[in-house]
Structure 1
């Protein structure tokens, strides 16, 4: 997550453009937040942890200082310090190949790395085409060594490689505003969101069409792309948006900015400012109690759900 994603106060949702809008579905638990079993676990760092994913050998997280963490039977441990180039550039986004054998990371100053979770080796693909902009997020499809790689940049460009990072092309899907998030559900099919509150769709990995939310009037931070008719976006002011291929359904959860969202098999989680977590049961979003007030940056679903955030905070449930 880039420095541009500092949390801000909510502004009113006035209208949503680009597609038909279903009625707002507000479903908060009354009274105090419901306990959901979240626990804070010990970590070896105090730097911000910016993304987390499950790979073939377990969970991995990307952090400031170029740090990669691994969740082991003995707790979270540092497996890389300094990033792909060794310069300590912050790692803002992460993704894994379909087989889970490679953990890709991107970050500041053009940092791009491919970490082999089986061997512990790292390939450095930083500064593609001499680009050293900050990279915010990455999506990866395909198998290890044969991956398609999509990188969201501060410059408003998406950098994409169909040969496992050996060569990169680039496209500007919108007006040039920073691309805050990107996620793919098939080899070359997925979605991206930018700083102008626009959601883009692609079916070839290289050309993008806007599908709405230009007038949402809140920043868009998180995207979970599961199909052309199953898309989730989280944003400022507690907003969650669901797209069914025909229209958008917004849900207003309150004031906290929600910077990441993941929904899978009828359940989901979204996280954000002040340690806020909302859980989805297939019907409604309900706030869950957490043991931290730190800003949370990312979440991943699994046998153990994991959320990560500021100052080395990692929560597990």
Structure 2
């Protein structure tokens, strides 16, 4: 794994203690609330994002799907290198004009919605680790890019991923970084396999924010502000940082793989689990599928993606 002389070590702070809250798992809605969309693939879809012209999903074998007026269509096959490396994470520039995605064997791609051009930024500094997630801030062609590595490093470029502009830093003990999300140009959070949340305000150095005494693995992350961070994980857990303490809501037993909160909230996970947040509580919503759900996006159309090419829409 490459290291540069400019690499700086993350400083570690102290996170808040957890206040546990167990919520009743009441059912709401019906199967008609969510419908299954037809897709051209049966490979697992790992992430979904909303860009300027609609939804995009990424998944196994390097597939990138777009939701068009004629339904879901394949716009990229084989990933950025054409080698078919699985894609695990995606994000969109602030102007919604470029979709970035990352995956196995160091895959990093930048897709231009207007031209359909795909730029390959893979294996920065010859690093070929698996990349689990990506956060992008700034506009098309001028983005800051942050990549969560399976080896425990965060790889970053403040020059739109140009060759020679990448550096990296390891925020914790080297455990896999599962998710990364930014709410400002260089301000955001990351979570790792050691049940740790990291916070940064310069895109490089970071503090440990918690979560103390967490008993479950972390999978999903929504970084809205320094005092508004959401983490989803095992045991039906949804954690929230309000700027002074962490609280935990329990929705049941399903591992929750993604979460987004703002004007309401959604979290999705194993066995087709979907929970919606309203009036300060999470409520189970029925879905017409039992496949594991990996990720979700909220917008003009809400969508959740997962195993066997499944896409749920609402």
Q: Give the TM interval when normalised to the shorter protein.
A: over 0.9
Say which of 20, 32, 39 aligns to 2:35.
39
Structure 1 residue 18: Cα displacement: 2.5
Q: Where do 1:163-242 residues align within 5 Å?
A: 163-166=159-162, 167-242=165-240
The residue that corresponds to 2:154 in the other structure is 158
Instruction: With the length of structure 2 as denominator, give the TM-score of the two structures.
Output: 0.93
Structure 1 residue 33: Cα displacement: 5.2
Say which of 107, 111, 125 aligns to 1:111.
107
1:199 and 1:175, CA in 2 relative to 1: closer, same or farther beyond 3 A?
A: same
Kept in 1, the 8 Å contact 2:18–2:213? The answer is no
The residue that corresponds to 1:57 in the other structure is 53
The residue that corresponds to 1:3 in the other structure is none
The residue that corresponds to 2:10 in the other structure is none
In structure 2, what is the Cα distance between the partners aligned to 1:305 and 1:25?
Answer: 26
SS of residue paired to 1:89: coil
Say which of 100, 119, 129 aligns to 1:123.
119
Structure 1 residue 213: Cα displacement: 1.1
1:253 and 2:251 matched: yes
The residue that corresponds to 1:294 in the other structure is 291
Write out per-residue CA displacement over residues 81-129 of structure 1, whole angstroms, 9 at most, x where no aligned residue: 0000000000000000000000000000000000001111011000000
In structure 1, what is the Cα distance between the partners aligned to 2:85 and 2:126?
Answer: 16
Say which of 243, 260, 263 aligns to 1:262.
260
In structure 1, what is the Cα distance between the partners aligned to 2:67 and 2:36?
Answer: 14
The residue that corresponds to 2:306 in the other structure is 309
Extract unaligned runs of 5+ from structure 2.
1-13
SS of residue paired to 1:65: helix
Kept in 1, the 8 Å contact 2:17–2:212? The answer is no
The residue that corresponds to 2:268 in the other structure is 271
In structure 2, what is the Cα distance between the partners aligned to 1:221 and 1:214?
Answer: 16
Structure 1 residue 173: Cα displacement: 0.2
Structure 1 residue 65: Cα displacement: 0.7
User: 141-150 vs 277-286, which deviates more?
Assistant: 277-286
Structure 1 residue 214: Cα displacement: 4.1
The residue that corresponds to 1:77 in the other structure is 73
User: 182-191 vs 32-41, which deviates more?
Assistant: 32-41
The residue that corresponds to 1:91 in the other structure is 87
In structure 1, what is the Cα distance between the partners aligned to 2:20 and 2:293?
Answer: 28
In structure 2, what is the Cα distance between the partners aligned to 1:174 and 1:163?
Answer: 25
Structure 1 residue 281: Cα displacement: 1.4
Structure 1 residue 63: Cα displacement: 1.1
Say which of 137, 142, 154 aligns to 1:141.
137
Extract unaligned runs of 5+ from structure 1.
1-16
In structure 2, what is the Cα distance between the partners aligned to 1:197 and 1:137?
Answer: 16
Instruction: With the length of structure 1 as denominator, give the TM-score of the two structures.
Output: 0.92
In structure 1, what is the Cα distance between the partners aligned to 2:15 and 2:134?
Answer: 25
SS of residue paired to 2:21: coil
Structure 1 residue 181: Cα displacement: 0.3
Superposition CA RMSD, Å: 1.1
In structure 1, what is the Cα distance between the partners aligned to 2:16 and 2:212?
Answer: 10
Kept in 2, the 8 Å contact 1:20–1:246? The answer is no
The residue that corresponds to 2:11 in the other structure is none
In structure 2, what is the Cα distance between the partners aligned to 1:21 and 1:221?
Answer: 18
Kept in 1, the 8 Å contact 2:227–2:244? The answer is yes
1:261 and 1:305, CA in 2 relative to 1: closer, same or farther beyond 3 A?
A: same
Structure 1 residue 208: Cα displacement: 1.2
